[in-house]
Amino acid sequence: MSTTFETRYASSPKAVKLYDTQQLRDEFLIADLFQKDQIHWVYTHYDRYMAGGAVPVHQELPLESIDPLKASYFLERRELGIINIGGSGKVSVDGEDFHLGFKDALYLGKGSKDVIFKSDDSNKPAKFYMNSAPAHKSFPNKKTSLDQANKLELGSLETANHRTVNQMIIGGIIETCQLQMGMTELKTGSVWNTMPAHVHDRRMEIYLYLDVKEGQAVSHFMGQPHETRHIWMQNHQAIISPPWSIHCGSGTSNYSFIWGMAGENLDYNDMDVAKIIELR
Number of H helices, E strands in the chain: 2, 24
Residue 266 is predicted with a pLDDT of: 82
Phi and psi at residue 161, in whole multiples of 5°? -140, 35
Nearest to 229 by CA among 238, 237, 219: 219
Nearest to 143 by CA among 111, 211, 96: 96
Residue 42 is predicted with a pLDDT of: 98
Phi and psi at residue 163, in whole multiples of 5°? -150, 155
Domain boundaries defined on the chain: 3-278
- CB contact at 8 A, 8 and 27: yes
Q: Is the peptide bond before 196 cis (omega within 30 degrees of 0)?
A: yes
Residue 119 is predicted with a pLDDT of: 98
Tens digit of pLDDT at every position of the chain (280 positions): 699 999 999 999 999 999 999 999 999 999 999 999 999 999 999 999 999 999 999 999 999 999 999 999 999 999 999 999 999 999 999 999 999 999 999 999 999 999 999 999 999 999 999 999 999 999 999 999 999 999 999 999 999 999 999 999 999 999 999 999 999 999 999 999 999 999 998 999 999 999 999 999 999 999 999 999 999 999 999 999 999 999 999 999 999 999 999 998 787 878 889 999 999 9
Residue 194 is predicted with a pLDDT of: 93
Query: Is 0.85 surpassed by the pTM of this model?
Result: yes
Q: Give the CA count within 13 Å in the CB-facing half-sphere of 218.
A: 31
**Class in CATH terms, 3-278:** mainly beta
Residue 8 is predicted with a pLDDT of: 97
Residue 270 is predicted with a pLDDT of: 80
How large is the C-alpha radius of gyration of the chain? 18
**Distance of alpha carbon 62 from alpha carbon 209, whole angstroms:** 25
Residue 1 is predicted with a pLDDT of: 65
